[in-house]
């Protein structure tokens, strides 16, 4: 184990068109501190990513876990995925209700099942089998958001721009063994038909990790991100020699030019190079590298 390896974490709390809510930055800073102590104690990148996302799901401050947006029938159906870069192992849940931590369910699917993704009731039962905590209360604001966005009309991308703040969560980390990992978790996008699934549980869409490329967690309108397989594209560009910021910039610009998709990404490679980049007005995120202080901030558009 390379004990001197510089540990790095990047976390995001979503890209959007409205400023971050009060408390989100403090939460991210706290989450990063927890993540780095897991890595310093020899925990894996996967362990750190899972725990950090659990904390954000539980905070109720983001559109994930207990803060999830509701679908048109009033139910929260959540998406999450997690992946590691050494053997390309991955787990995902789509459209799952009733469990507090979809990311923990995704990790269990990766570790304990022969599958990559479980959806809906099957995912909930799988989580219950492993005694995952139930989700009891959900953000009632979500229902109001659905109503608001239904009233506003227009196409999906325009709607996303008009209602979206910084909300979906994700994390990337590199551990002492030099393995990278990525995860994403979301309550989706309003308005959503019951059963709608976004990019966050799609391996290669919203999440990807390959030690030969990089770890990526995406945020933005899933209906666009899926169509360009953005997370995988960023990793592939970086495997072919681009720095993680050039790779992410290229893929996000391609999404914008090709299908007018706006999104944000956090990326991290095995050399500890990381970036946060977005084509939305705002993105909230934070980093820690080595012994430096954790930094959480709201970032303004550069692309």
Between 94 and 268, CB nearer to ligand ASP: 94
Q: How far is the CB of 204 from ligand ASP (least distance, A)?
A: 14
The reply on whether position 188 binds ligand ASP by CB under 6 A is: yes
The reply on whether position 189 binds ligand ASP by CB under 6 A is: yes
Of 26-65, binders to ligand ASP (CB under 6 A) are: none
Question: Binding ligand ASP by CB under 6 A: which of 66, 81, 190, 200?
Answer: 200
Of 145-174, binders to ligand ASP (CB under 6 A) are: 167-168
The whole-angstrom separation of Cα 21 and Cα 91 is 30
Half-sphere exposure at residue 158, Cβ-oriented, CA atoms within 13 angstroms = 6
Query: Do residues 53 and 171 touch, judged by C-beta distance below 8 A?
Result: yes
Please indicate whether residue 207 is annotated as part of the active site: no
Report, in angstroms and rounded to the nearest whole number, the Rg of the chain calculated over CA atoms: 17
Question: Binding ligand ASP by CB under 6 A: which of 50, 57, 199, 242?
Answer: 199
Beta strands at 78-84 and 8-16: parallel, antiparallel or unpaired: unpaired
Contacts of 274 (CB under 8 A, 6+ apart): 8, 10, 172, 244, 266, 267, 268, 287, 289
Of 213-232, binders to ligand ASP (CB under 6 A) are: 219-222
Question: Binding ligand ASP by CB under 6 A: which of 179, 186, 207, 211?
Answer: 186
Nearest to 159 by CA among 131, 191, 113, 114: 191
Catalytic residues, by residue number, are 168
* Residues at the site binding ligand ASP, with contacts judged by CB under 6 A: 14, 167-168, 186, 188-189, 198-200, 206, 219-222
């Amino acid at each position: 184990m390379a004990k001197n390896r510089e540990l790095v974490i990047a976390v995001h709390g979503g890209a959007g068109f409205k400023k971050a809510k009060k408390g989100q930055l403090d939460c991210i800073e706290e989450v990063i501190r927890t993540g780095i102590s897991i890595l310093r104690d020899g925990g894996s990148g996967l362990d750190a990513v899972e725990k950090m996302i659990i904390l954000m799901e539980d905070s109720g401050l983001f559109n994930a876990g207990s803060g999830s947006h509701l679908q048109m029938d009033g139910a929260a159906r959540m998406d999450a995925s997690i992946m590691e870069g050494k053997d390309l192992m991955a787990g995902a849940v789509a459209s799952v209700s009733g469990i507090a931590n979809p990311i923990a369910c995704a990790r269990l699917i990766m570790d304990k099942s022969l599958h990559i993704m479980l959806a809906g009731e099957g995912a909930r039962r799988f989580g219950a089998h492993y005694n995952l905590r139930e989700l009891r209360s959900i953000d009632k604001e979500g229902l109001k958001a659905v109503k608001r966005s239904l009233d506003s009309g227009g196409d999906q991308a325009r709607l996303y721009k008009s209602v979206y703040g910084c909300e979906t969560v994700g994390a990337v980390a590199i551990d002492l063994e030099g393995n990278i990992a990525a995860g994403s978790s979301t309550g989706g996008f309003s308005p959503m038909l019951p059963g709608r699934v976004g990019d966050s549980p799609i391996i290669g869409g919203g999440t990807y990790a390959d030690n030969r490329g990089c770890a990526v967690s995406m945020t933005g309108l899933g209906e666009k991100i899926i169509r360009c397989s953005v997370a995988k594209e960023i990793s592939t560009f970086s495997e072919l020699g681009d720095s993680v910021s050039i790779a992410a910039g290229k893929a996000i610009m391609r999404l914008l030019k090709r299908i007018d998709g706006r999104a944000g990404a956090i990326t991290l490679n095995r050399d500890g190079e990381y970036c946060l980049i977005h084509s939305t007005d705002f993105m909230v995120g934070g980093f820690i590298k080595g012994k430096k202080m954790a930094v959480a901030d709201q970032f303004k558009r550069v692309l």
